[in-house]
Amino acid sequence: MDKIKFAENLSRLRKEKKITQEELAKFVGVTKATVSKWETGVSQR
């Protein structure tokens, strides 16, 4: 998947569900910083 589309989709879907980056991070077992990196396209891992 294209990095930009992944980042945009993740951010959009998270906001639609009204959850914070911290809540998403806890749910998937990563740090808030990792979610932030995913949403900005810095990292996909």
Cβ neighbours for 2, distance < 8 A, ≥ 6 positions apart: none
> Around Cβ 26, how many Cβ atoms within 10 Å?
14
Q: Over 90: is that where the pLDDT of 45 sits?
A: no
Question: What pTM value is reported for the model?
Answer: 0.83
Token pair of 29 as six digits: 């077992």
Question: In this structure, what are the phi and psi dihedrals at residue 41, rounded to the nearest 5 degrees?
Answer: 80, 10
What average pLDDT does the segment 12-31 reach?
A: 98
Q: Do 3 and 13 touch, CB atoms closer than 8 A?
A: no
The residue among 28, 27, 21 whose CA lies nearest residue 7 is: 21
Q: Give the pLDDT confidence score for residue 44 in this predicted structure.
A: 62
